Amino acid sequence: MAHDARTRDAALALLLLLAGCGDGADTDPQATSTSSPPPASAALQSVVYQTFAANGDSDLHAVAEDGSGGAALASTELREHFRGISSDGWVIYDRRVSDVAAHLVSVHITGGEARVLDESASGKLFRGFTPDDRVVYQKATATGTAIHSIGPDGASPAVLVDEPYVSADFVAATASDRVLYQTCERSRDPEAPPQCVSAGLYSVAADGSDRRLLVAGTPRVALVTDQERVIYEADAGGHLDLYATASVGGAPVTLAGSPDDEADPRLLPDGRILYARRVAGQWDVYIVNGDGSGSRALLADPEDEFVTGIMPSGRILYVRGPGGGRNLYAIDPDGTNVAVLGDSTDDESLRRVTAEGRVVYSARRATGGFAQDDLYSVSPDGSDLRVLADSQEFEWFEDVAPDGRVVYMSCAAAPGGPCEDPGAQSDLYSVRQDGAGTTGLATTGDFETYRGVTANNRVVYQRLAGGQHDLRSTRTDGAEPRALAESPVDERYQGLH
């Protein structure tokens, strides 16, 4: 099944990283996050970025969002690669000490104080943070993969799991700082092909204590609720069913156990769960109580339907139709108040539910061999539709700033390729949610790409000119443009703090 293929692919990629076959640093430089910015603050935020020299050297730096106070965080003769930023300001990075070995290191953004978290020769892979900012990483062993945690300042190291012939893969950290992980116990027969002879989903406290088996096998964790419920998909003899269990273990609850595939659970504010069910090849939307009772079809139109978002009020946003021509709708959990949010001949996709309660979506159509996206906003009852961006170019949603302005990219495709082609031209704009006041943020004719928006309504972006990336920022109204980094080497944005 596709689920098993995803698991195998992820496991293979992890083993390659831990074996030294890749350093994990070559992430897509044009990848864009559409996560919401942090809460508004009067304090300037720091922009963390990485430099790449022609000789292969890479260093880490930080600068304030207005271009002031630049400082080197990690600048040695070795290669340093960014991995993450904790909520209390520690930057985690790899320091490559040989072709196959790297140390795991941290440095504080404000003080510049560096700590070596793990200098062993074993391959290491940073996986994330617990809610209390402990660093979780995986580490190659002689016969498998272990999971460790440590404070970002190097305090209180802990081994979460380290067993012979067991490969452990981090899954998630819960609100109470428990770590979920998947295990695969490998065959010890040297003549047998590589395979898991047993597997399970476990949880453990972030200090390595209180290990619990949640479920045997290889379930896919779909979501973890704030109430510490783990909702997961599992193979049930050729099809997927949905289950829930507590993060400390206990008897699983069957949420959906029909002979059909059930997947993609979504949590409603009242604790009920939406999920997709494929009946006779068609995807419908069902709703079930948190204890597994009361399952019923919510959306069972003759066309495919998929949930794309849930509003704080519980109102459900979904798309209906065939791939390439889906329309956007809204419905209440009781099945009433259906509203058409977008009913064009284009393919519509939800982009954001704003703090002001409006729905921002894109509509894509093919024109002259290229895709063209336009942007709209609408009230969740289907009224007050506004055009945000509708030109002959490709307009791509990037984010909503704290002041409510929608930031988007406008791209004129290259003659021989799409917007990702270096020969294309990409500019940045912002617009109010009512479609008024469109403002150019970066419109030089170079290739400019969005990277983040600060709590102070400053947009951080990269500019590609003459084959080199530089970092800049400007306010969402286009005022106060600033150069953040313009050295002779490539500068690539990594994160905000």
pLDDT at 262: 97
Average pLDDT along the chain? 88
| 117 compared with 76, residue with greater pLDDT | 117
CB atoms within 10 A of CB 236: 17
Which tokens sit at 273? Answer: 């769960």
**CB 166 within 8 Å of CB 182:** no
Residues with Cβ < 8 Å from 128, sequence gap 6 or more? 84, 136, 170, 173
pLDDT at 486: 86
Instruction: Assign 452 a pLDDT band (cuts: 50, 70, 90).
Output: very high
| 167 compared with 30, residue with greater pLDDT | 167
Domain range summary for the chain, segments of one domain joined by +: 391-496
Task: Choose among 58, 51, 61, 105: nearest CA to 77.
Answer: 58
User: 160: buried, middle or exposed (CB in 10 Å: 19+, 13-18, 0-12)?
Assistant: buried
Q: CA geometry: angle at 236 spanning 235 and 240, to 5°? A: 55
> Does 26 score more than 50 pLDDT?
no
CA 484, distance to chain mean position in Å, is 25
Cα-based distances in Å from 484 to 71, 242, 331, 466, 468: 11, 48, 45, 18, 14
Average pLDDT (300-323) is: 94
Average pLDDT (81-87) is: 97
% of the chain beyond a pLDDT of 90:
73
Cα-based distances in Å from 88 to 71, 82, 99, 132, 481: 18, 16, 32, 9, 28
Cα-based distances in Å from 445 to 417, 448, 470: 17, 8, 15
Q: CA geometry: angle at 463 spanning 455 and 37, to 5°? A: 15
Cα–Cα distance, 282 to 279 (Å, whole number): 5
pLDDT in tens, 392-422: 788 999 999 999 999 999 987 655 556 666 6
State the Cα torsion 7-11-13-18 to the nearest 10°. 160
SS3 41: coil
User: 391: buried, middle or exposed (CB in 10 Å: 19+, 13-18, 0-12)?
Assistant: exposed
Instruction: Assign 24 a pLDDT band (cuts: 50, 70, 90).
Output: very low
Residues with Cβ < 8 Å from 419, sequence gap 6 or more? 394, 396, 409, 411, 413, 426
DSSP for 168-190, written as a single string: EEEEEE-TTSEEEEEEEEEP--T
pLDDT at 335: 97
Question: Token match 């020969």: residue?
Answer: 423
Kindly report which listed range (6-20, 160-174, 237-251, 261-275) carries the lowest average pLDDT score: 6-20
CB atoms within 10 A of CB 152: 23
464: left (phi over 0), alpha (psi -120 to 50) or beta: beta
* Signed CA dihedral, 55, 61, 65, 66: sign only: negative
Tell me the β-bridge partners of 447.
426, 464
> Does 7 score more than 90 pLDDT?
no
